[in-house]
């Protein structure tokens, strides 16, 4: 039994070992510091164990596998239960006919005697006037100065809610700033683009009994619209097309249906500042996590991940998209 270990100063190593099957191994998952055994420590340990005539074998780190093996066009199939394989979005549809005041009133109940507490938007007492002093403030009667959101029951100054609505997407929906309950249909500011989806004949780690759904998002760079942070200014779109993966299981197809609803409502992506590069005025993910690693999970964006599908359903629910919306998706 012997082990010849070669380990250089750049932490790149290889091992040639001849030993019995009972020899333990020291696993090194990767070389970026996220391994439970740091490569340098593993190398030093191997040298010391070899010097003490103890058997050791260092395993090579797993590789990042972003994409599946090559797939021919004949092997790409439609997702079962879906009569289409592509969805496009265009410019935002303008909602007309209702002023911000009319939209807010739609979701409010009148409050005759406001409680002795602060409005959590302006942090002024509900019994007094709104603390908002910005543009667009119109006088309101005392009877209309405070309102209660019909579903969740949280109370605010009417003028504060109108100001909050004006600073948002102005899409006819309202979201409670306290509990995030959504009134109406929430839409986002995702730029125009294309979403493709189909089944490929490869299994994801953790899902050996089914094939995989591949989603391809493609958004080109362009100019920001009035709903974006900096209207008329150019925005970038890095990393497109972006490939994402789901298991082709009953639950995976349910998630896909809700992702289609989110895509139509322009909630998958947004324009803002990238948390990874710091670049501003660029297309970013919008709080609905996707898996972009096909055959590994070195960055946390791959499989296996037993809780991923449930987590995505919760994230979609936070955007106002529920399983009832999936039932209406054709």
For the stretch 21-41, pLDDT in tens is 444 544 444 444 444 445 555
| pLDDT tens per residue across span 201-232 | 999 999 999 999 999 999 999 999 988 999 99
Of 86, 33, 97, give the one whose Cα is nearest residue 217.
86
Q: CATH 3.30.40.10: which residues of the chain? A: 100-183
Full-prediction pTM beyond 0.85? no
Query: Tens digits of per-residue pLDDT, 105-162?
Result: 999 998 989 999 999 999 999 999 898 877 656 666 666 789 999 999 999 999 999 9
CATH of domain 100-183: 3.30.40.10
**What does the pLDDT average to over 58-65?**
74
88, pLDDT greater than 70: yes
Q: Is the pLDDT of residue 57 over 70?
A: no
Annotation: CATH topology of 73-91+192-328: Enolase-like; domain 1 (3.30.390)
pLDDT mean across residues, the chain:
84
- As annotated, the residues of the chain forming the CATH 3.30.390.130 domain(s) are 73-91+192-328
- What average pLDDT does this structure show over 297-326? 93
Q: What is the pLDDT of residue 89?
A: 83
Q: Dump pLDDT digits (tens) for 152-198.
A: 999 999 999 999 998 888 899 999 999 999 999 999 999 999 999 99
């Amino acid at each position: 039994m012997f082990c010849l270990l070669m380990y250089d100063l750049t932490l790149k190593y290889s091992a040639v070992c001849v030993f019995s099957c009972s020899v333990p191994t020291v696993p090194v998952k990767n070389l970026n510091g996220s391994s439970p055994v740091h490569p340098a420590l593993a190398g030093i340990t191997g040298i010391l164990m070899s010097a003490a005539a103890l058997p050791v074998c260092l395993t090579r780190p797993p590789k990042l596998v972003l994409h599946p093996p090559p797939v021919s066009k004949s092997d790409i199939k439609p997702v079962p239960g879906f009569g289409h394989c592509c969805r496009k979005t265009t410019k935002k549809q303008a909602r007309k006919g209702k002023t911000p005041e009319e939209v807010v009133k739609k979701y409010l109940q009148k409050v005759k005697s406001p409680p002795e507490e602060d409005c959590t938007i302006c942090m002024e007492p509900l019994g007094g006037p709104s603390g908002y002093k910005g543009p667009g403030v119109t006088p309101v009667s005392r009877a209309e100065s405070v309102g209660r959101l019909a579903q969740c029951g949280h109370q605010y100054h009417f003028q504060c809610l109108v100001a909050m609505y004006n600073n948002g997407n102005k899409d006819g929906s309202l979201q409670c700033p306290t509990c995030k309950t959504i009134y109406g249909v929430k839409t986002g500011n995702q730029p125009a683009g294309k979403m493709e989806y189909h089944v490929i004949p490869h299994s994801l780690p953790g899902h050996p009994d089914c094939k995989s759904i591949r989603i391809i998002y493609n958004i080109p760079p362009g100019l920001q619209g009035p709903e974006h942070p900096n209207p008329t200014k150019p925005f970038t779109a890095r990393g497109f097309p972006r490939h994402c993966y789901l298991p082709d299981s009953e639950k995976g197809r349910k998630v896909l249906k809700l992702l289609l609803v989110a895509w139509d409502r322009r909630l998958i992506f947004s324009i803002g500042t990238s948390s990874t590069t710091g670049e501003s005025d660029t297309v970013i993910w919008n709080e609905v996590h996707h898996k972009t690693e096909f055959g590994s999970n070195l960055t946390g964006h791959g499989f296996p991940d037993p809780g991923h599908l449930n987590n995505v359903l919760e994230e979609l629910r936070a955007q106002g998209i529920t399983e009832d919306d999936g039932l209406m998706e054709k």
